[in-house]
Amino acid sequence: MESSSSSTFEPKIFLKPLNEEEVVEYLRKYGEKARLIAGGTGIYEIARRGLISGVEVLIDITGLRLSYIKKERDLLKIGACTTMSKMMLLSSSPSMSPSLFSEDSPLAAIGDALSVIQPLQVKNVATIGGAICTALPFFDLPVALLSLDSIAEISPTRREKVENLLTGYFNIDLKEGEFLREILIPLPDGYASSSFLKFAITGDDWALLNCGCAISLNESQRISSVSLVYGGGVGEKPRRAIKTQDALKGLYSLDEESIKRVFETWLHEDLETISDSRASAEYRMELAKVLGRRAVIKSAERASRRMRVQKKN
Ligand SMILES: Cc1cc2nc3c(=O)[nH]c(=O)nc-3n(C[C@H](O)[C@H](O)[C@H](O)COP(=O)(O)OP(=O)(O)OC[C@H]3O[C@@H](n4cnc5c(N)ncnc54)[C@H](O)[C@@H]3O)c2cc1C
C-alpha cells in the first residue's frame, strides 16, 4: 500500500534557482504543478503517506541566501532556509551573546521547541520555513513562533502574521508566485519571557498536545500581557486561547491557584480538542489545562528572573 501511494509523487523537473525573482517566476510558470523544497523532510513524509499528487516540478530554494539569523533593532530576523540545527548554533554564537534562545532570553520558547524536536538528523536539514509551510497543527516550532507573535516576510512583497497564514491541514495562505522568505520575531523589552511545552507518548512522537506561552510582567510581578497558543490535537491548525489569555491578565504571576482557576474556567471555551486512537478529547482537554498552567508559570518564573537581573544591573 505504501509503495503504490508514494508512486504518485514522481516529479520530472528539478530546478535550483539562485535568486528570489527566479523562484517567483517558476512558481508562476508551473502553478499547481510545482512545489518548493527546502530540507525535504516534510515533503518526504507527505509523499510517503500518498498525500501529494500532480507535482511535476520541484523548486529547491536552498541555493538562495536565506540561511541566517540577524538582530535588527527590536526584531530578530531568521531566513526561511535556516535549518533547526543552524538556528541553535547561530543563536549562541559570540555575536549573539547573551544566547538568543536560552532560558534567560525572552525568546526561550524557541529554544524549548528546538530541544524537543527529534531526531537530530531531521534538525540538521529541516528548515524553519518548511516547518511553518508544511502547515501541520502538531509541529512544535510553529506553535512557539505563534506564541511570540512572529511575522512572515513573504516574497515578493507581503508581510503577514504567521498565525494568519496557517489556515488548515497542509493549507497555507500563500498566493500564486509567493513564498516565505524570512520570519520576523519581535524582541520584547521589559520583564518578558516565554516557554514551550510538548506532551507526547514517546520521546520521538508527534505532540499529543503542545503549548507556547509568552508573558510580560509589570513592576509588581503581575501579568501585563500574555500570549497562549496550543498545537497538537486541537483541530486543523494551532489555536490561540483568547479568553484564557484575557482572564490571566492582571493576575499575580506567582499565584498558582488563581492561574489554575483561570484554566479550569475558560480553556474549554477557547479550545476544541480532538479524539483519536492516541487520546480522547476529554483527556486532551485536561492535558491542555495542565500544560497551559505550567507554561504560564514557567514563563513567569523566567520573566521574574530577568526582572531581578535587570534591577541588579
Ligand atoms: C523523522 C521525522 C521526525 C520529525 N520529528 C518532528 C518533531 O519531533 N517535531 C516537529 O515539530 N516536527 C518534526 N518533524 C517534522 C519536521 O519539523 C518538518 O518535516 C520540517 O520542519 C519541514 O522542513 P523542511 O525544510 O524539511 O521542509 P520541506 O520538506 O522542504 O517542505 C515542507 C513544505 O513546505 C513548503 N516550503 C518549504 N519552504 C518553504 C518556503 N520558504 N516558502 C513556502 N513554502 C515552503 C514545501 O513546498 C512543502 O510543502 C519530523 C520530521 C521527520 C521526517
> What is residue 311's predicted lDDT score, i.e. its pLDDT?
87
- Residue 106: exposure state from Cβ atoms within 10 A (0-12, 13-18, ≥19): buried
Q: Collapse the DSSP code of 226 into the 3-class scheme (helix H, G, I; strand E, B; otherwise coil) and give the result.
A: strand
131 CB near ligand 1 (under 6 Å): yes
User: What pLDDT, on a 0 to 100 scale, did the predictor assign at position 7?
Assistant: 54
| Closest residue to atom 53 of ligand 1, CA basis | 41
Residue nearest atom 43 in ligand 1 by C-alpha distance: 179
Pairing assessment for the beta strands 57-60 and 13-15 based on DSSP bridges: parallel
State what percent of residues in the chain have pLDDT above 70. Answer: 98
Q: In this model, does residue 4 exceed pLDDT 70? A: no
pLDDT in tens, 240-299: 999 999 999 999 998 999 999 999 999 999 999 999 999 999 999 999 999 999 999 999
Pinpoint the residues of the chain covered by CATH 3.30.390.50: 191-312
Calpha distance 65→79 (Å, rounded): 8
User: Hey, CA dihedral for 285, 150, 80, 157, is it positive or negative?
Assistant: positive
- Is 67 near ligand 1, meaning CB less than 6 Å away? no
Counting from 1 in the atom list of ligand 1, the atom nearest the Cα of 113 is 11
pLDDT of residue 2: 36
Whether pLDDT at 3 is above 60: no
Residue 6 has pLDDT above 50, yes or no: no
- Residue 108 alpha carbon to ligand 1 centre in Å: 21
Among 23-37, 95-109, 128-142, 282-296, name the one with the lowest average pLDDT.
95-109
Name the closest-CA residue to atom 40, ligand 1.
Answer: 180
Distance in Å, CA 271 to ligand 1 centroid: 25
If one looks up domain 191-312 in CATH, what number appears? 3.30.390.50
Residue nearest to atom 51 of ligand 1 (CA): 41
User: Exposed e or buried b for every residue in 74-104, given b needs 16+ CB within 10 A?
Assistant: eebbbbbbbbbbbbbebbeeeebeebbbeee
Query: Is the Cβ atom of 84 under 6 angstroms away from ligand 1?
Result: no
Residue in 183, 184, 84, 169 with CA at minimum distance from that of residue 134: 169
Pure H helices in 77-215 = 84-91, 108-116, 120-123, 128-133, 141-147, 162-165
**In angstroms, rounded to a whole number, what is the distance separating the alpha carbons of residues 121 and 139?**
16
What CATH number should be reported for the domain whose range is 2-63?
3.30.43.10
The pLDDT value recorded for residue 98 is 78
For the chain, where do the domains classified as CATH 3.30.43.10 start and end?
Answer: 2-63
Fold entry, domain 66-186? 3.30.465
User: Is the C-beta atom of 145 inside 6 A of ligand 1?
Assistant: no
Is any atom of ligand 1 closer than 6 Å to the C-beta of 140? Answer: yes
The closest residue, in CA terms, to atom 37 on ligand 1 is 130
pLDDT band at residue 68 using 50, 70 and 90 as cut-offs: very high
Averaged pLDDT of the chain = 94
Ligand 1 binding pocket includes 43 (Cβ within 6 Å): yes
Instruction: Evaluate if residue 78 carries a pLDDT over 60.
Output: yes
Amino acid at 78: I
Report pLDDT for 1. Answer: 34
Half-sphere exposure of 312 (CA within 13 A, CB side): 6
Which of the listed residues 14, 41, 112, 169 should we mutate to test ligand 1's pocket, taking the one with most ligand atoms within 8 A of CB? 41
Q: Give start-end residues of each CATH 3.30.465.10 domain in the chain.
A: 66-186
pLDDT at 59 over 60: yes
Per-residue pLDDT tens for 99-131? 999 998 999 999 999 999 999 999 999 999 999
| Number of other residues whose CB lies within 10 A of the CB of residue 276 | 10
CA of 46 to the centre of ligand 1 (A): 10
Sequence length of the chain is 313
Q: Are 244 and 285 in contact (CB under 8 A)?
A: no
